[in-house]
Amino acid sequence: MLFPAKIEWNPGASCSEEIRLWQGCPSIAATGNGWLYVNWYSGGEKEPSEENYQLLVRSTDGGKSWSEPLLRVVSSKAHCLHIGDARCWLSPDGKLHFFWSQYQWKQSVFEPHCGMTVWQIICDEPEKPVLRWSEPSFVTRGNLQNAPVLLADGRIVLCAFNHTSRRYGFSVSEDGGETYRHVYGAKKIDTPCDESMIVEGKNHTLTMFARTAREYGKVAISRSTDGIVWSEAQFATGLVSPCTRFFIGKLRSGRWIMVNNDDPVRRRKLTIFLSGDEGKSWSSSLVIDERESTSYPDLIERGDGEIFVVYDWNRNTEKTILLARVSEAEILRGAISEKESFLGRVISAAPRRSDDKARFAAILEDYKEVERLWREYQSRRPPLLRPAGMVTAEEKPSIAARG
């Protein structure tokens, strides 16, 4: 049986900035009145940890100041339940969706889907001072690390991937998000984590971009005209990436926009790129942060053309979540000049500690061991896992009340 993680409302001192040992992996949403919502990952000494949680905060003044956490979605040692990545997303009807991924610690992360499921709560009126949320509901299986994509025909695509599969996966809803079916596309180019995103072109062709393994320093790309048959994955022309998450989407002008570390090896030089030919080339760019260890950007364009980018910097030492505001014209010029624009505005910065470097060194050793186990698993797993079928109202897993 499945059950949702526990949600704490207005958690206060239990997750205050002063006690966070690390934080990162943010996402952003914006309402019609200009309010910004940002969530990110923290809790425990590292990621993953049995003490991880997700936070959500709000700004009502364009990012100048931020609320204390409005909610916290928490892992549970008692239930061996781990909280993974989360996303906030404003649907076309103006409702704020807060998605999160979770899985059972007792199930190996190398098993099919590793027990990963996506859940959500929905706020019908996110422009009110006091937010009222729905009860948690099951969405789909997989790991969701990027925002949903609304296609021209009304379908909703969630790039909730199965990292144990040899093929890129995502979930599609044809009924406004009530139910989802999981679909598999092209065979993957080797990667520790898909973190894929899909963009719809003018002729409704879908283009998927995905992370690749560290040794490639590239971005994978695959295309489909119907969302069912996908071209063989290949490296995208003119793009590099140091094995990390990026953002890619489409602006209201029709240009495609990407935020990525413009370096094939290191997470540095976080840059916004624009393409006027649907990803064939990226002719305009604006560097928003030159520093090392900038990563995991997310982007939202508001109705008036404001572009906000959120990202993290040195998750385990500087522990900083940052915000930039730019315009499309500034990206085309390669420099910011507008009065309202800014770079590197701090949303949250947890205090540095004397043991940060030693703790981070231990975390890096842990990551090396996980990578070794992962490659060992890859060498002996079957060539392709059987795809999951349609998830309908009748086929949804049983959902237990949380104890």
Residue 47 is predicted with a pLDDT of: 87
CB distance 297 to 324 below 8 Å: no
Is the pLDDT at 393 greater than 50? The verdict is no
Is the pLDDT assigned to residue 141 strictly greater than 50? Answer: yes
For 211-227, the pLDDT digits (tens) are: 999 999 999 999 999 99
Mark residue 27 as left, alpha or beta (left: phi above 0; alpha: psi -120 to 50; beta: remaining): beta
DSSP line for 225-241: SSSSS-PPPEEEEEEE-
Q: What is the pLDDT of residue 104?
A: 80
* Of residues 306 and 386, more confidently modeled: 306
Share of the chain above pLDDT 90, in %: 79
Tell me which long-range contacts 395-398 makes (C-beta under 8 A, separation of at least 24).
396/138, 396/179, 397/1, 397/2, 397/138, 398/1, 398/2
Strand partners, 218: 240
Residue 303 has pLDDT above 80, yes or no: yes
Tell me which of 72-76, 174-178, 270-274, 359-363 is least confident: 359-363
380: which residues sit within 8 A by CB, 6+ positions away? none
Q: How far apart are CA 194 and CA 171, in angstroms?
A: 14
CA distances (Å), origin 254, targets 278, 303, 328: 9, 14, 11
For the record, the structure tokens of 207 come out as 């283009």
CA-based nearest residue to 120, from 150, 104, 144, 103? 144
- Pairing between strand 137-141 and 143-144? unpaired
Residues 77-81, mean pLDDT to the nearest whole number: 88
Q: Does domain 1-145 sit in CATH 3.90.1150.10?
A: no
| pLDDT of residue 396 exceeding 90 | no
Among 27-41, 138-152, 363-377, the least confident range: 363-377
Q: Whole-angstrom Cα distance, residue 170 to residue 183? A: 5
* Average pLDDT along the chain: 90
Does the pTM surpass 0.85? The reply is yes
Q: What is the pLDDT of residues 273-300, one digit of tens each?
A: 999 999 999 999 999 999 999 999 999 9
The 10s digit of each residue's pLDDT in 170-204 is 999 999 999 999 999 999 999 989 999 999 999 99
Most confident of the ranges 76-80, 101-105, 236-240: 236-240
Do 37 and 126 meet the contact criterion of CB atoms below 8 Å apart? yes
Whole-number Å distance between alpha carbons of 402 and 314: 35
Instruction: Note whether 26 and 38 are within 8 A (CB).
Output: yes
Going by pLDDT thresholds of 50, 70 and 90, the confidence category of residue 367 is confident
Residue 209 CA to residue 125 CA, distance in Å, equals 33
User: pLDDT-derived band of residue 2, with 50, 70 and 90 as boundaries?
Assistant: confident
pLDDT of 36 over the 90 cut: yes
Instruction: Tell me which of 59-63, 85-89, 100-104, 134-138 is least confident.
Output: 100-104
Q: Which of 156, 167, 255, 272 is nearest to 210 (CA)?
A: 167
CA dist., res. 150 & res. 140, Å (int): 16
Specify the amino acid at residue 265. V
- Provide the residue type at 357 as one letter: K
Confidence (pLDDT) at 1 = 64
* Higher pLDDT among residues 377 and 42, named by residue: 42
pLDDT digits (tens, 9 = 90+) for 243-270: 999 999 999 999 999 999 999 999 999 9
Q: Could you give the CA distance from residue 271 to residue 199 in angstroms, rounded to a whole number?
A: 19
Dihedral sign for Cα atoms in the order 134, 137, 139, 142: positive
CB 256 within 8 A of CB 249: yes
Q: What is the full DSSP assignment across 73-95?
A: EE-BTTTTEEEEEEEEEE-TTSP
Q: Is the confidence at residue 388, as pLDDT, over 50? A: no
Q: Which pLDDT band holds residue 374 (cuts at 50, 70, 90)?
A: low
Q: How confident is the model at residue 48 (pLDDT cuts 50, 70, 90)?
A: confident
Interatomic CA distance for residues 40 and 268, integer angstroms: 20
Of residues 364 and 301, which shows the higher confidence score?
301
Tokens of 166: 């040899």
Who contacts 195 (Cβ-Cβ below 8 Å, separation ≥6)? 145, 146, 159, 161, 210, 211, 245, 246
Domain boundaries, the chain: 1-145
Q: Which residues contact 311 (CB under 8 A, 6 or more apart)?
A: 26, 259, 270, 289, 294, 295, 296, 297, 298, 321, 322, 324
The helix/strand/coil state of 54 is strand
Separation of alpha carbons 180 and 156, rounded Å: 9
